[in-house]
């Protein structure tokens, strides 16, 4: 039973006044916390806490422990092996409390679900119809087309799924390789051999971990395999690239990785710097590099560092931070790449044999705590990006428009963005950007973009876990 008390008028006035003061103080503290968040955290977790390079902070999932104490520890000490810095030396104890207060309040008052993806949008050249092809996927990462009616999609926790005639098959492909589903690792890219009709090869990139150790965190690195799919089962697996085990790292971020093929039977793939940025300049290390092999794993004799002492022969280019998109131009056969910068400095690059793309000696970005990585943005012997984005859009996925469905955009470049939730259309001529346009915005975090054999544009939405198709309105 509740007992209701009656207070004298003076006491009541004091209680009300005190309540207003407390409320005003709380609002002021929350405003301070939001400012701190926007300065130090939003570049990874999104300006509205919706997620960017890192996970959402308002979806009810706390990767490193829920509750004030766990969140405070994460802010103070970071998660170094996953690339999140600690702010104990950057923020005062009071500032840490303010930003944690803001996060806790944001979780409790999270905004309502996003509106549904529109069925039609307008661009400069086309009215576009949007169809949802698949839903309910868990962190989808990549898409690859077998033909117009059949394509594959990876889910980062380790599942390879098939979509046939617009329907997501309920059962994943069986017996795919075991992946390290931790941090940014997992099952990453999937690619279909250009001669698939003759040989049936499918290629997978994933985070491969060494055997568990009782004393140390086991090392991991990006690995490439190929195999066949028979009776919904992964079979005939061949490892076509595995880095020397001594180069594996205990970190759990910046794996890359995309797989593309040129007309000469070369297979290109990229590995991120794995959190060891200086190693991107070290030719004895696989991380921070673009690699080139043949589709069966053999190393081309004309690779630029094939006969260099202490250099890995698979390396094609270096000075790369974290490649998130790669594509071969359908006419020139040139290799293009996009990569995440840190706080600013996402890049689109034209990749050429033996070239040094500068990371971390030159960069247009800063550390996530706003400290300077390098004062240099250019240096002799190091390549400039064709285009860079500051602030970072968390660029992700890349392809070229093919076919006649979007005839006005033929051979334009497509790039997605996680943080900015975009699909961008980029007109590149003679290695210069003539036009850069956002054709889709706020449908979800775009992890991959691809042009289907029939010319339709597909976007893989990391969140909310769906695949959509864009076609011109009839």
Which residue out of 45, 208, 253, 254 is catalytically annotated? 254
DSSP string, 302-328: T-TTTT-TT--TTEEEE--S-EEEEEE
Alpha-carbon dihedral sign for residues 153, 273, 315, 242: negative
- Edge-first strand order for the sheet with 413-417 is 395-400, 413-417, 422-429, 432-441
Nearest to 105 by CA among 19, 32, 21: 32
Q: Are 128 and 120 in contact (CB under 8 A)?
A: yes
Burial readout 200-236 (b: 16 or more C-beta within 10 A, e: otherwise) = bbbbbbbbbbeeeeeeeeebbbbbbbbbebeeeebee
Q: CB–CB of 141/447 below 8 Å? A: yes
Distance CA 444, CA 140 (A): 12
- 332-362 in b/e form (b: 16+ CB < 10 A) is eeebbbbbbbbbbbbbbbbbeeebbbbbbbb
The Cα–Cα gap between 171 and 161 comes to 7
- Closest among 323, 261, 262, 259 to 287, alpha carbons compared: 323
Sign, Cα dihedral of 296, 300, 304, 307: positive
- Please say if 266 is a catalytic residue: no
Going from the C-alpha of 405 to that of each of 126, 151, 193, 436, 453, the distances in angstroms are 11, 19, 24, 20, 10
155-to-134, 245, 424 alpha-carbon distances in Å: 12, 26, 23
- Cβ–Cβ < 8 Å for 44, 37: no
What three-state secondary structure class fits 471?
Answer: strand
d(CA 397, CA 327): 9
Q: Can you tell me the distance from the alpha carbon of 413 to that of 415, in angstroms, rounded to the nearest whole number?
A: 7
DSSP secondary structure letters along 370-394: S--S-S-S--TTSPPPSEEESS---
Positions annotated as catalytic residues are 254
């Amino acid at each position: 039973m509740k007992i209701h008390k009656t207070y004298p008028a003076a006491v009541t006035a004091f209680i009300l006044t005190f309540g207003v003061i407390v409320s005003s103080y709380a609002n002021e503290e929350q405003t301070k916390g939001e400012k701190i968040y926007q300065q130090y955290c939003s570049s990874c977790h999104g300006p509205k806490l919706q997620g960017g390079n890192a996970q959402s902070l308002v979806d009810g999932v706390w990767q490193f422990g829920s509750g004030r104490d766990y969140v405070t520890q994460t802010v103070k000490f970071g998660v170094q092996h996953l690339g999140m810095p600690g702010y104990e030396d950057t923020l005062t104890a009071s500032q840490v409390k303010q930003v944690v207060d803001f996060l806790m309040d944001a979780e409790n008052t999270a905004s309502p679900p996003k509106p549904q993806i529109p069925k039609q949008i307008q661009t400069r050249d086309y009215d576009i119809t949007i169809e949802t092809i698949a839903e309910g996927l868990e962190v989808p990462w990549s898409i690859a087309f077998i033909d117009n009616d059949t394509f594959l999609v990876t889910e980062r926790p380790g599942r390879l799924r098939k979509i046939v005639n617009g329907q997501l098959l309920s059962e994943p492909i069986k017996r795919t390789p075991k992946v390290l589903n931790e941090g940014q690792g997992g099952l990453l890219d999937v690619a279909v051999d250009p001669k698939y009709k003759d040989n049936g090869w499918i290629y997978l990139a994933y985070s491969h971990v060494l055997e568990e150790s009782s004393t140390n965190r086991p090392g991991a690195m990006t690995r490439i395999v190929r195999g066949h799919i028979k009776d919904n089962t992964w079979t005939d697996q061949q490892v076509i690239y595995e880095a020397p085990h001594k180069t594996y790292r205990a970190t759990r971020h910046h794996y890359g990785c995309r797989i593309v093929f040129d007309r000469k039977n070369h297979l290109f793939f990229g590995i991120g710097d794995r959190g060891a940025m200086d190693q991107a300049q070290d030719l004895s290390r696989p991380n921070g590099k673009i690699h080139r092999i043949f589709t069966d794993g053999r190393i081309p004799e004309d690779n630029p560092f094939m006969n260099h002492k202490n250099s890995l022969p698979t390396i094609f280019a270096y000075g790369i931070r974290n490649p998130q998109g790669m594509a071969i131009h359908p006419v020139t056969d040139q290799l293009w790449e996009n990569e995440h910068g840190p706080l600013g400095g996402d890049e689109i690059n034209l990749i050429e044999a033996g070239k040094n793309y500068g990371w971390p000696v030159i960069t247009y970005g800063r550390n996530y705590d706003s400290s300077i990585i390098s004062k240099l943005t250019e240096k002799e012997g190091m390549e400039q990006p064709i285009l860079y984005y500051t602030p970072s859009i968390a660029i992700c996925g890349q392809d070229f428009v093919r076919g006649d469905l979007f005839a006005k955009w033929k051979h334009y470049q497509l790039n997605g963005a996680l943080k900015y939730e975009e699909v961008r259309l980029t007109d590149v001529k003679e290695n210069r950007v003539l036009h850069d346009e956002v054709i889709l915005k706020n449908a979800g975090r775009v992890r991959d973009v691809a042009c289907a054999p029939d010319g339709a544009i597909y976007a893989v939405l990391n969140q909310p876990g769906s695949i959509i198709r864009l076609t011109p309105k009839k």
